[in-house]
């Protein structure tokens, strides 16, 4: 591997314990033992998407992953999960080494509880201020995820977040996510100070991904403009925006919000229950698409980099493509520099 790239990889790879500082995005129903192990075995860092799993289901998924790889991998936990404490215990019992905390701002007590078990903790920073507070609370690494990403997203693009956060945070490794599909942009983020990246959408169509063939074909057919952000109907029911390929599920999400707003107005459910109902909609809808192949009424969560997904290919091939593209970019930059000096 190119020495310049190797140097840029050093901090992220050392932290993750992987050959390449490329994290697999945690995608519910997609990021299970097969894909997670394949990413880790290929030199990346696989991440199990716990999603709405029970603690027993999570322990089973962790054990299955350990049977398929001896390489490091992590577990992504959604903080609003009603059994979050049980999920923590499942990770303790399964001797998980890395936990990615998503779907909210983790409490300092939660971070410390994980660190007491020698678990490396990673969380999402939506702003510089949030990142600094997370570091103060003891987080080991950060992910900055732009709204080009698929699934649940924030309001700001990766490019802007990178400019805001990367020059100002050096105490912990920072990984960039959202819209990354080629090695050239990955290299640019590394040069800006990132320790690595997180990629989800490109791995959906991996040979090792259990996603239904119809789900994969929908990705291959789609362009960046087809990946759209969900609409929030009312500030009374704040929901995290979701980016997905537009279909009937996008319209059903609007109806789900209307139904829960009505129940909220009547006092029949609490705000937390309404938000959980919305999350359950996405979980069920996503399963319908990923597992059952219903690409009409199932959710097609995909980042804008879906336009870069052209075929079904092995994880190793995907990662090698990204590395080769970054290496070629370095080589071309050197050639351009030589040509300038000769003029």
- Residue 237: per-residue pLDDT: 83
Report CA-CA distances (Å) from 114 to 35, 85, 200, 257, 298. 25, 11, 25, 35, 35
- Residue 235: per-residue pLDDT: 84
The first and second tokens of residue 288, run together, are 């319908």
Cα distance between residue 302 and residue 243, in whole Å = 6
For the chain, how big is the Rg over CA atoms in Å?
Answer: 20
Report CA-CA distances (Å) from 188 to 81, 158, 183, 311, 325. 35, 12, 9, 25, 12
- Residue 276: per-residue pLDDT: 81
- The structural domains of the chain, with segments of one domain joined by +, span 3-211+308-333, 213-301
- Residue 239: per-residue pLDDT: 78
pLDDT, tens digit, 9 for 90 and up, residues 13-31: 999 999 999 999 999 999 9
Cα distance between residue 319 and residue 13, in whole Å = 14
Q: What is the Cα 163 distance to its own chain's centre?
A: 20
What is the helix (H) or strand (E) element at residue 98, kind and residue range?
strand 98-102
- Residue 195: per-residue pLDDT: 98
pLDDT, tens digit, 9 for 90 and up, residues 61-78: 999 999 999 999 999 999
- Residue 283: per-residue pLDDT: 74
CB 24 within 8 A of CB 35: yes
Burial label, 137 (beta-carbon count in 10 A; 0-12, 13-18, 19+): middle
Query: Rounded to two decimals, what is the model's pTM?
Result: 0.93
Average pLDDT by stretches of 10, the chain with 343 residues: 93 98 97 98 98 96 98 96 96 98 95 97 97 98 97 93 98 98 98 98 98 98 96 84 92 91 93 84 88 96 97 98 97 71 60
Cα distance between residue 144 and residue 158, in whole Å = 7
- Residue 318: per-residue pLDDT: 98
- Residue 152: per-residue pLDDT: 87
Evaluate the CA torsion angle 81, 13, 67, 25 in order and state its sign: positive
CATH 1.20.1260.10 fits 3-211+308-333, yes or no: no
CB 315 within 8 A of CB 37: no
In DSSP notation, 114-148 reads: HHHTT-EEEEE-SSHHHHHHHHHTT-SEEEEE-TT
- Residue 231: per-residue pLDDT: 86
2-9 CB contacts, 8 Å cutoff, 24+ apart: 2/326, 2/327, 2/330, 2/331, 4/330, 5/187, 5/190, 5/323, 5/326, 5/327, 5/330, 8/187, 8/190, 8/191, 9/190, 9/196
């Amino acid at each position: 591997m190119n020495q310049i790239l190797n140097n840029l990889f050093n901090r992220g790879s050392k932290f993750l314990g992987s050959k390449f500082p490329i994290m697999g995005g945690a995608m519910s129903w997609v990021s299970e033992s097969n894909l997670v192990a394949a990413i880790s075995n290929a030199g990346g860092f696989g991440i199990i998407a716990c999603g709405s799993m029970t603690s027993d289901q999570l322990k089973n998924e962790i054990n299955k992953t350990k049977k398929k790889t001896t390489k490091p991998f992590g577990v992504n936990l959604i903080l609003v999960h009603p059994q979050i404490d049980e999920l923590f215990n499942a990770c303790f019992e399964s001797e998980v080494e890395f936990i990615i905390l998503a779907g909210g701002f983790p409490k300092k007590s939660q971070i410390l509880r994980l660190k007491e078990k020698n678990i490396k903790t990673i969380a999402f920073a939506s702003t510089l201020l949030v990142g600094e507070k997370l570091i103060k609370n003891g987080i080991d690494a950060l992910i900055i995820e732009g709204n080009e990403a698929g699934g649940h997203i924030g309001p700001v693009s990766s490019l802007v977040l990178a400019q805001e956060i990367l020059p100002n945070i050096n105490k912990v490794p920072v990984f960039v996510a959202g819209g990354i599909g080629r090695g050239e942009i990955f290299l640019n983020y590394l040069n800006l100070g990132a320790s690595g990246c997180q990629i989800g959408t490109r791995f959906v169509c991996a040979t090792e991904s259990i996603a239904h063939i119809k789900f994969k074909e929908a990705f291959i057919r789609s362009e960046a403009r087809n990946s759209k952000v969900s609409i929030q109907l009312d500030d009374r029911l704040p929901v995290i925006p979701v980016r997905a390929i537009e279909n009937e599920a996008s319209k059903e999400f609007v109806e789900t919000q209307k139904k829960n707003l009505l129940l909220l107005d009547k006092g029949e459910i609490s705000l937390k229950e309404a938000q959980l109902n919305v999350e359950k909609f996405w979980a069920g809808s996503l399963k319908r698409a990923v597992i059952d192949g219903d690409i009409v009424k199932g959710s097609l969560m995909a980042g804008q980099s879906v336009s870069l997904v052209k075929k079904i290919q092995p994880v190793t091939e995907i990662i090698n493509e990204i590395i080769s593209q970054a290496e070629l970019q370095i080589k071309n930059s050197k050639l351009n520099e030589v040509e300038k000096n000769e003029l």
